[in-house]
Amino acid sequence: MQARLVEDLIKMADSVSSRFLVLVLNALVLGLISTIPCANGANFLATLFHPAGQASHYRFIARITSGLMARGHTVTLLVTDTYELKGFDKDNVATRIIKFKTTTSSPIKSIFNDMLSTPDQAEPGILLTMKMFLALRDYSLQSCEDLFNDRELMIDLRKQNFDLVLLQMFVPCDPLVAEYLKVPYIAMTPSSRFPAFDEDVYNMEMPSSYVPFESMSDLTDEMSFVQRVQNFVGRYGMLKFIQYLNTRPYRKLQLEHNIDPTSSIREISGRAELWLCHIDFALEFPHPTAPNWIMIAGLVAEGETKPLTQELESFVQGSGEHGVIVFSLGSTDVNLLSGRMNEDFAKAFSELPQRVLWKYVGPPLRNLGNNTRLMSWLPQRDLLAHPKTKLLIYHGGLAGVYEAMHFKKPMVLIPLFADQPSVAARIAKKKMGAVLKKSTLSADLIRSTINQVLTDPSYQANVEKYGSISKDTIVSPLETAMFWIEHIVKFGGSHLKSRAGEMNFVALNSLDVIAFLLVIVLLGLYIDYLILRSCYRCITRGKTTAKPKSD
């Protein structure tokens, strides 16, 4: 009996100790898990102060905010009451949309009208470009002042305890809002690279010998000597001047509201934890980047397409073996071509065997052919996915270009303003399409350029190649964006930042080191000179004082 009792007690002790051990291990595991930062349920503020924001820009932002909401995060959207939010599905892009009142209206339509008023639709000159830039800057500045003067709204925003601000790095208002709220921010770039507002603000390397500075020019990574001079002057002259014009008026606003007054606007603008860029090296020329410069090209191109309406499908199928050409100049409601140019396009299209779908709003066209259908809006992405579509004629907006690459359709581009000339230069350099300049447009040139792209198989081969490169990623652009945003929520971005953003121009470019070494070399040369001079004097003095043998 005693032996059995002892045995039972031992079994009970083993059982209790095992359960105790399990409980201890569970507690340790839970303790370890609790120390790992978590991004679930983060609170985001998305600001939209880009003065020339278009629907394509909004779709880029909306893809990110809707992705965050689908993962259980909260998103507040802050915009002026003049924004129409085209491209946003309001039901799933934000938990809350705040529209604050402004005392000014967007100048974008008047800017387009100024572009149309140029003689013969020539490319905008430097004076018109600067006028447009300053108009957009002043509009953004006034909107920013209206926001900060709304004290009740600013107090409410501070109470929200946001984890991160999502913003477009174009005007300083967005980073000033983030700094005022004492919240770290992530910058998003839905357009092509604007070095004056992107890489240079962040002190990323941009060698002027092969990295084109001018986003509004057609320079490539292969430049002649004259072009390298132009690029160098733009890099170190025009860039600084544009930055000065863009940031100077915001300094007063910064001081009035005590937003880190000891730092410059440029320093505040360079504090992004992360940069999400709508670009990749399938289109962009290779250049230096930083660990927190993340490429998510094709973000608006991915996803399912919708079938065409029965009427539109019948028109497309009726094109037979020749197929369909899609012609669109983006999401703006303003007709960006003159009446003469529209007639030239209509005449050129009427002489083609293909059918044409043209996004057009304007007066009737005399030269319109039976093969061309005008539409005030067309489902561009769905049409590009259709096997009957053979070509996209476009203004060179980045979102539409990536859609064409995604669906492997060659392009004819007519760059009009902003980053479109630089995008067109990249398409031409990689031979995914051809470029037309509006200053030289004619019906014959339009027709011959279209035929060239459609009949030369290298265009189709190249767009298939680079389109495949762009899509060849480990995960989708949206998943990439979600991973890195949540990574920043959990860990911050200090481990991804280089020291470049905290260094002044002299230290960053090692000018002080070069000066120090130059002084050392010059000092050594001077000492050598003194030694040699002394030796020479000793030798010559000995010769002059020596007596001749006859003496």
Considering the domain architecture, whether residues 165 and 106 belong to the same structural domain is answered as yes
Considering the domain architecture, whether residues 451 and 486 belong to the same structural domain is answered as no
Considering the domain architecture, whether residues 209 and 250 belong to the same structural domain is answered as yes
pLDDT digits (tens, 9 = 90+) for 428-485: 999 999 999 988 899 999 999 999 999 999 999 999 999 999 999 999 999 999 999 9
Q: Residue 455 corresponds to which amino acid? A: T
Q: What is the pLDDT of residue 231?
A: 83
Considering the domain architecture, whether residues 498 and 514 belong to the same structural domain is answered as no
Considering the domain architecture, whether residues 481 and 439 belong to the same structural domain is answered as no
Q: 440: part of which helix (H) or strand (E)?
A: none
Domain range holding 343? 310-471
Q: Is residue 347 part of a domain?
A: yes
Q: What is the pLDDT of residue 51?
A: 64
Residue 516: count other Cβ atoms within 10 Å of its Cβ: 11
CATH classification at residue 395: 3.40.50.2000
Please answer whether residues 60 and 278 qualify as being in contact, where contact means their C-beta atoms are separated by less than 8 angstroms: yes
Considering the domain architecture, whether residues 338 and 408 belong to the same structural domain is answered as yes
Q: Tell the burial category of 533 from Cβ atoms under 10 Å away from its Cβ (0-12, 13-18, 19+).
A: exposed
Q: Is residue 128 part of a domain?
A: yes
Residue 381: count other Cβ atoms within 10 Å of its Cβ: 19
Q: What is the pLDDT of residue 420?
A: 86
- Give me 140's structure tokens: 């953004």
Produce one character per residue of 284-297: b if its CB has 16 or more CB atoms within 10 Å, e if not: bbebebbebbbbbb
Considering the domain architecture, whether residues 482 and 533 belong to the same structural domain is answered as no
Q: What is the pLDDT of residue 9?
A: 43
Considering the domain architecture, whether residues 162 and 208 belong to the same structural domain is answered as yes
Distance in angstroms (rounded) separating the CA atoms of residues 188 and 153: 24
Q: Is residue 520 part of a domain?
A: yes
| SS3 call for 368 | coil
Q: What is the pLDDT of residue 10?
A: 47
Q: Is residue 451 part of a domain?
A: yes
Q: Is residue 75 part of a domain?
A: yes
User: Which positions of the chain have pLDDT values less than 70?
Assistant: 1-39, 51-54, 83-91, 107-128, 192-200, 203, 214-216, 332-335, 501, 542-551
Non-local (6+) Cβ contacts of 397 within 8 A are 54, 56, 330, 420, 423
- Give me 93's structure tokens: 């892009």
Distance of CA 316 to the CA centre of its chain: 34
Considering the domain architecture, whether residues 464 and 484 belong to the same structural domain is answered as no
Q: Is residue 391 part of a domain?
A: yes
Please answer whether residues 182 and 165 qualify as being in contact, where contact means their C-beta atoms are separated by less than 8 angstroms: no
Q: What is the pLDDT of residue 25?
A: 43
Q: What is the pLDDT of residue 22?
A: 40
Domain boundary among 453, 471, 489: 471
pLDDT digits (tens, 9 = 90+) for 234-251: 777 777 787 788 888 999
Q: What is the pLDDT of residue 29?
A: 39
Q: What is the pLDDT of residue 139?
A: 85
Q: What is the pTM of this model?
A: 0.83
Distance in angstroms (rounded) separating the CA atoms of residues 369 and 356: 9
Range list of H helices, 493-510: 505-508
Q: Is residue 546 part of a domain?
A: no
Domain count, the chain: 3
Give the single-character DSSP code of 201.
Answer: T
Q: Is residue 7 part of a domain?
A: no
Considering the domain architecture, whether residues 363 and 463 belong to the same structural domain is answered as yes
Considering the domain architecture, whether residues 356 and 456 belong to the same structural domain is answered as yes
Distance in angstroms (rounded) separating the CA atoms of residues 71 and 492: 19
Please answer whether residues 337 and 438 qualify as being in contact, where contact means their C-beta atoms are separated by less than 8 angstroms: yes
Considering the domain architecture, whether residues 498 and 434 belong to the same structural domain is answered as no
